[in-house]
Amino acid sequence: QVQLQESGPGLVKPSETLSLTCAVSGYSISSGYYWGWIRQPPGKGLEWIASIYHSGNTHYNPSLKSRVTISMDTSRNQFSLRVSSVTAADTAVYFCARLPTGDYYFDSWGQGTLVTVSS
Amino acid sequence: SYDLTQPPSVSVSPGQTASITCSGDTLGNRYASWYQQKPGQSPVLVIYHDNKRPSGIPERFSGSKSGNTATLTISGTQAMDEAEYHCQAWDSSTAVFGGGTKVTVL
């Protein structure tokens, strides 16, 4: 059974870059599936950020694309997210998740990690 | 941008049926998925491909779609079903979520 675990700093200063990693166990990310990031500001709904396939193919939320980079490290079986020039509006719980290849739903999620943007 | 609209809240008595709607332009041509999220937890997939239930999800959860509106139905609602429910679809390689519906079991 696949398990996903997010990690990264819980506090980031405004204008700096937020970096998160999702470690995957129970499945080799190089074998398939899309892998993605979704966030949820406190008290608000879910917002998809980006997804990446093992081939390196990526998709980004147009509203965040200019500040976001998703990448994959198959040797460590993990994928990562970077969000640059963060503001208080980027404060959220960040989830990593798995998306079956060619399909339209997220079937496994990490527990989420809270990132606060504050000086 | 593509939007999915859900009611902010739905109330239901134990044992009764709760229905949560999700509306969006051309949703009739897209697959809808539904997620259950309890406070402090990550979302759990309860319905995909409009009406398919993942293994381990109770039969009281069902999905349907009519025109551009998808509906999640919880039959014989239990106290443990109190949660936020999110619908989701894809538009041009972009995943879109609805605003979420808080289901309260009174």
Q: Which residues of A touch B43 (CB under 8 A)?
A: 46, 95, 106, 109
Higher-scoring residue by pLDDT: B60, B2:
B60
A110: confidence class by pLDDT, cuts 50, 70, 90: very high
A83: confidence class by pLDDT, cuts 50, 70, 90: very high
pLDDT at residue B2 tops 90: no
Provide the terminal-to-terminal Cα distance of chain B, rounded to the nearest Å. Answer: 36
Inter-chain touch A107–B90, beta carbons under 8 Å: no
Q: Are B91 and B35 in contact (CB under 8 A)?
A: no
Angular region, A77: left φ>0, alpha ψ -120 to 50, beta rest: left
Q: What is the pLDDT of residue A58?
A: 94
Q: What is the pLDDT of residue A23?
A: 98
B13 contacts: CB under 8 Å, gap ≥ 6? B77, B105, B106
pLDDT at residue A103 tops 90: no
Q: What is the pLDDT of residue B60?
A: 98
Nearest to B4 by CA among B65, B74, B77: B65
**Nearest CA of chain B to the CA of A105: how many Å?**
6
Q: What is the pLDDT of residue A97?
A: 97
Q: Which residues of B touch A59 (CB under 8 A)?
A: 93-94
Please give the average per-residue pLDDT across B9-36, as a whole number: 96
pLDDT at residue B59 tops 90: yes
Please give the average per-residue pLDDT across B46-53, as a whole number: 97
Q: What is the pLDDT of residue B76?
A: 97
Q: What is the pLDDT of residue A102?
A: 79
Nearest to B74 by CA among B7, B3, B13: B13
DSSP characters over B23-45: E-TTGGGS--EEEEE-TTS--EE
Inter-chain touch B42–A48, beta carbons under 8 Å: no
Q: What is the pLDDT of residue A77?
A: 96
Q: Is B29 exposed, middle or buried (0-12, 13-18, 19+ CB in 10 A)?
A: exposed
Q: What is the pLDDT of residue A55?
A: 85
| CA B8/CA A114 separation, integer angstroms | 24
Residue with tokens 């020039």: A85
How do residues A1-56 score in pLDDT, each as one tens digit?
A: 999 999 999 999 999 999 999 999 999 999 889 999 999 999 999 999 999 998 88
The helix/strand/coil state of A1 is coil
Q: Is A19 exposed, middle or buried (0-12, 13-18, 19+ CB in 10 A)?
A: middle
3-state helix, strand, coil in chain B (%, to 5): 5, 50, 45
